[in-house]
Amino acid sequence: MSTLIRIAGRVFGLPRPRTRRVRGHRGLTVPMRDGVALKADHFAPWPRPGPTVLMRTPYGRGFVLRVLATSIAAQGFHVVLQSCRGTYDSGGVFEPMRHEREDGLDTVGWLRGQPWYSGELCTYGPSYAGFVQWALAAEAGPDLKAMATIATAADFRDSTYAGGAFSLDVVLTWAALLSAQRGSRLANLVEAGRGQPKLRRGLAHLPLREADVVATGEEIAFLRDWLAQPGADYWDQRGHASRRAAVTAPVLMVGGWHDIFLPWQLDDYAALRAAGARPRLTIGPWTHGSFGLLRQSLVESVGWFHQHTGDALHQYTGGAYTGDGKVRPRRAPVRVYVGGARVWREFEDWPPDDARARDWFLSPGGELAGHPPQLGAAPTRFRYDPADPTPSVGGPRLLAGGAGSLDNRDLEARPDVLTFTTAPLRQPVTALGPVSATIYARASGDHFDIFVRLCDVTTSGRSWNLCDGLVRVSPGRFPADASGVRAVRVDLWPTAHLFRPGHRIRVQVSGGAHPRFARNTCTGEPLATATRLLPVDVEVFGDPRYPSALRLTEDGQG
């Protein structure tokens, strides 16, 4: 075990272990209030007692997670790795989000009865394993000393229906991953080696209510529920945003600029700040599935837990962080990576207090300028055809492959993608915070999408995507004026990026990003059952009456 601890510590960038001996106890039974038994593994640092770190996950308790748990235990913590209801060898049926509050609180109650439990509890985990922390946080009591919520959010509704569309790639890919856990390991390896053809067919299939069978060979109840777009009661019973203000434990948040949950993770941050809390926030150049995100989050979490328990180590005083095997003092609660500049910066809050908004205006002819258009001009047009939907390239995806910042030139060469680009910049521009756009558009139909993307165009002509967002337009949403023109507000992912002198700022406008977002069939038929496809012609205006613009939050320090 000592060799494994040493190697894992180096891989994860952790400090020197406090113990080289960790005892594992596999397959413990944790009873729930309704009689269902969940299974867990306990990793104990030997021979000394310590605080407990709880990790609840639907992703099994295989080798990788055992190594992760062992590495945390070697830092002086008892670690309980538990499989969520209905996953791996835990009893019951997995219904995403439905049982996590009760099951989490019942697990805390079980911990209180264990002879090795010190009364100090911390929680850790990324993605769904972060969501389950929010589920128990408000009611866990004084035992809960610290949380480390990684690439996650307290509520998954808005990320599922981002912009009013459906986040098809994330949801179907996640459903396929969960389904694969119940299948043959060899079959899964073969499928992955072939590039996941069943999943790709599912993402391309209509109607969407059959996509689960195409991708996995089985019906998936929660996916069909979500495609039916259930009402607020369904999601209110499964989300925990309403309880954020009641959370008193210190919260660490680590996310990535290309993470699928980033906008909603920042909503959690803002809610905690509004409630008077001081969460710690780190945002790096990561995607949801990147190893860099896992590594940095683990290092910061271990330090965070030591800082907020009676087991504190002197080198973590003040919430120090590491990431390259070294320990440095952290001076401010917010730390973000600024792309382009390739530096980390620290702030007292997010967005920075001195950040300022600036509009960049779209003009027919493909120009992007820092001043409003002076003359009227004909709008720029594109046709969106759901039979050949505009593809998604890079950006926030569930899996690391194909996610993040990629060269967009092939995408921008398509006739259904408009681009608006500045002249080469004479001065640097640093975007630092929220990004949004108001697109004045007129369409040949009442149902269409507006997708907006911000790119950095280098001196060599490569166009690298930084952030984006999509909004679904339907009757009654963004009402049209007498000329049929709608002011469509699109919230993009936030960003922190330096556009260097000589580079150009580019804005893309198109009608979709498939399969990241389910294609708009443009017929108004229900999401789950739509099969009829109707092309739509869209006009994008850029004149004094309809000044389409991208709004950047820019660095107030110049």
CB 362 within 8 A of CB 549: yes
Kindly tell me if the per-residue pLDDT of 190 is higher than 60.
Answer: no
CB 454 within 8 A of CB 492: yes
In this predicted structure, what is the pLDDT of residue 325? 44
pLDDT tens profile 445-479? 999 999 999 999 999 999 999 999 999 999 989 99
Kindly tell me if the per-residue pLDDT of 318 is higher than 70.
Answer: no
pLDDT tens profile 290-314? 999 999 999 999 999 999 998 654 3
In this predicted structure, what is the pLDDT of residue 322? 44
Domains, the chain, with CATH or none: 2-166+229-347 (3.40.50.1820), 167-228 (no CATH), 356-554 (2.60.120.260)
In this predicted structure, what is the pLDDT of residue 187? 55
Kindly tell me if the per-residue pLDDT of 331 is higher than 90.
Answer: no
Average pLDDT over residues 14-19: 90
In this predicted structure, what is the pLDDT of residue 88? 95
Q: Rounded CA gap, 156 and 58, in Å?
A: 16
The one-letter code for the residue type at 245 is A
Average confidence score pLDDT of the chain? 93
Question: Pick from 269, 460, 441: which is nearest to 351 by CA?
Answer: 269
In this predicted structure, what is the pLDDT of residue 364? 85
Q: Give how far Cα 37 sits from Cα of 85, 86, 98, 110, 112, Å.
A: 8, 10, 16, 12, 17
Q: Give how far Cα 32 sits from Cα of 109, 123, 354, 421, Å.
A: 10, 19, 49, 58
Query: By percentage, how much of the chain surpasses pLDDT 70?
Result: 94
Q: Please report the beta strands in 174-333, taking only residues with DSSP state E, as ranges in sequence order.
A: 251-258, 280-287
Can you tell me which residue has the tokens 């986040």?
A: 167
Q: What are phi and psi of 422, to 5 degrees?
A: -75, 165
Q: How far is CA 217 from the centre of its chain?
A: 27
- Collapsing DSSP to helix, strand or coil, 174 comes out as helix
In this predicted structure, what is the pLDDT of residue 141? 96
Average pLDDT over residues 29-38: 98
321 band by pLDDT with thresholds 50, 70 and 90: very low
In this predicted structure, what is the pLDDT of residue 9? 87
Tell me the Cα Rg of the chain. 24
Q: Rounded CA gap, 142 and 478, in Å?
A: 46
Cα-Cα-Cα-Cα torsion 437, 438, 444, 449, nearest 10 degrees, comes to 30
Kindly tell me if the per-residue pLDDT of 349 is higher than 60.
Answer: yes
Average pLDDT over residues 260-272: 98
pLDDT tens profile 150-175? 999 999 999 999 999 999 999 999 99
Q: Rounded CA gap, 27 and 83, in Å?
A: 10
**Top-confidence residue, 317 or 236:** 236
The one-letter code for the residue type at 469 is G
In this predicted structure, what is the pLDDT of residue 376? 78
In this predicted structure, what is the pLDDT of residue 324? 46
Return the H-helix or E-strand segment holding 417. Answer: strand 417-421
pLDDT tens profile 466-516? 999 999 999 989 999 999 999 999 999 999 999 999 999 999 999 999 999
191 band by pLDDT with thresholds 50, 70 and 90: low
Q: Rounded CA gap, 471 and 451, in Å?
A: 7
544 band by pLDDT with thresholds 50, 70 and 90: very high
In this predicted structure, what is the pLDDT of residue 46? 87
In this predicted structure, what is the pLDDT of residue 173? 96
- Classify residue 141 as exposed, middle or buried by CB count within 10 Å of its CB (0-12, 13-18, 19+): middle
The one-letter code for the residue type at 474 is S
Average pLDDT over residues 315-342: 69
In this predicted structure, what is the pLDDT of residue 316? 44
334 band by pLDDT with thresholds 50, 70 and 90: very high
Q: Give how far Cα 234 sits from Cα of 157, 237, 307, 381, 459, Å.
A: 10, 6, 38, 40, 50
In this predicted structure, what is the pLDDT of residue 47? 78
Bridge pairing between strands 144-150 and 251-258: parallel
pLDDT tens profile 78-115? 999 999 999 999 999 999 999 999 999 999 999 999 99
Average pLDDT over residues 43-51: 89
Q: Give how far Cα 199 sits from Cα of 189, 204, 217, 242, 528, Å.
A: 14, 9, 10, 35, 17
Bridge partners for 125 per DSSP: 149
